C-alpha cells in the first residue's frame, strides 16, 4: 500500500498529474506548482515528476516547442516568447534554441500582425507609424525588424 502524505498518496499525485497532462502539455515547474496547490508535498511532487519524465509523459522541450508554435501563431515576437518560457523554468539559451528551431519568418509575422490590427492601409503620418511600432514592440518583436517594416509604405509580404 502506498504511504499516505497529508491524507493523499503519491499515486494520487501521479493520477492528478496525468489528468493535467491529458488536457495539454505542462512544464515541470507548472506541474509542481499545480500539485503543490492541491496539497501534495514537494518530495511527492518531485518523485511524481521523475516518474512522468522517465515515461516521457512530461518533457520540457516538447512543452517549449508547443508554446513557441502557439505564440508564433498568436503573433508574438521572440522577446515575449523567451520571457514566457523563462516563467516556466526554461532558460534563455534553450528558449532561443526552440525559437530558432521553429524558423519563424519575422517580417511576415510582423506584417500579419499589422494587417490584423490596422488593416491594409498604410500609416498616415509619423505618429501613426510610431503607434504601430510601439504595438509591435509590446508584443516582443525586435526593434530593428519593427523599424524596417513600419517605415515601408506597404504591408505586402513581398517586400
Residue 84 lies in a domain: yes
pLDDT at 159: 45
CA distance 33 to 56: 19
Residue of 118, 158, 159 whose CA lies nearest to 135: 118
Residue written as grid cell 506541474: 31
Distance of CA 155 to the CA centre of its chain: 26
State the CATH number of the domain containing residue 30: 1.10.10.10
The answer to whether residue 132 sits within a structural domain is: yes
- List the domain range (segments joined by +) for residue 145: 106-150
Please check whether residue 28 lies inside any domain of the structure.
yes
pLDDT at residue number 110: 95
Residue 156 lies in a domain: no
**Co-location of 39 and 71 in the same domain:** no
User: Going by C-beta distance under 8 Å and a sequence separation of 6 or more, which residues neighbour residue 83?
Assistant: 140
Q: What is the domain count for the chain? A: 3
Tell me, yes or no, whether 33 and 45 share the same domain. Answer: yes
Mean of pLDDT values over 114-123: 91
CATH number at residue 81: 1.10.10
pLDDT digits (tens, 9 = 90+) for 131-153: 999 999 999 999 999 999 988 75
pLDDT per residue over 51-96, tens digit each? 999 999 999 999 999 999 999 999 999 999 999 999 999 999 999 9
Judge whether 81 lies within some domain.
yes
> Is there a single domain that holds both residue 92 and residue 116?
no
DSSP 3-state assignment of 84?
helix
- Are 118 and 132 a contacting pair, CB within 8 Å? yes
Ramachandran region, residue 5 (left: φ > 0; alpha: ψ -120 to 50; beta: rest): beta
Average pLDDT over residues 84-112: 96
pLDDT for residue 2 is more than 70: no
Asked if residue 82 lies in contact with residue 96, where contact means CB atoms within 8 angstroms, the answer is yes
pLDDT of residue 156: 56
pLDDT band for 1, please (50, 70, 90 cuts). very low
Amino acid at each position: 500500500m502506498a504511504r499516505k502524505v497529508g491524507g493523499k498518496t503519491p499515486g494520487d499525485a501521479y493520477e492528478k498529474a496525468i489528468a493535467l497532462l491529458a488536457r495539454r502539455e505542462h512544464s515541470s515547474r507548472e506541474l509542481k506548482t499545480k500539485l503543490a496547490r492541491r496539497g501534495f508535498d514537494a518530495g511527492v511532487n518531485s518523485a511524481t515528476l521523475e516518474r512522468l519524465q522517465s515515461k516521457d509523459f512530461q518533457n520540457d522541450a516538447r512543452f517549449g516547442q508547443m508554446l513557441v508554435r502557439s505564440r508564433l501563431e498568436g503573433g508574438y515576437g521572440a522577446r515575449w516568447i523567451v520571457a514566457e518560457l523563462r516563467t516556466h523554468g526554461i532558460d534563455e539559451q534553450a528558449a532561443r534554441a526552440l525559437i530558432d528551431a521553429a524558423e519563424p519568418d519575422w517580417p511576415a509575422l510582423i506584417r500579419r500582425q499589422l494587417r490584423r490590427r490596422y488593416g491594409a492601409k498604410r500609416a498616415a503620418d509619423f505618429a501613426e507609424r510610431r503607434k504601430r511600432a510601439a504595438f509591435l514592440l509590446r508584443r516582443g518583436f525586435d526593434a530593428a525588424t519593427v523599424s524596417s517594416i513600419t517605415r515601408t509604405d506597404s504591408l505586402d509580404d513581398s517586400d
